[in-house]
Amino acid sequence: MSKWMLMAVSVAAMGSTGCGNRPERFEKMVQWRIDDALDELDATQVQRDRVQALTKESIANAKPVAEQAQATRTALMTEWKSATPDAPKVHQLVDTQLEAVRTFAHSLTDKALEVHALLTPKQRDVLTEKAERFEKRAKH
Q: Give pLDDT tens digits for 76-131.
A: 999 999 999 999 999 999 999 999 999 999 999 999 999 999 999 999 999 999 88
Question: Alpha-carbon distance 45 to 36, whole Å?
Answer: 14
Alpha helices in the chain (DSSP H): 3-14, 23-40, 45-81, 87-118, 121-139
Check if the beta carbon of residue 111 is closer than 8 Å to that of residue 9: yes
pTM above 0.85, yes or no: no
DSSP structural state of residue 44: -
Residues 28-54 have pLDDT tens digits of 888 899 999 999 999 999 999 999 999
pLDDT level of residue 16 (50, 70, 90 thresholds): very low
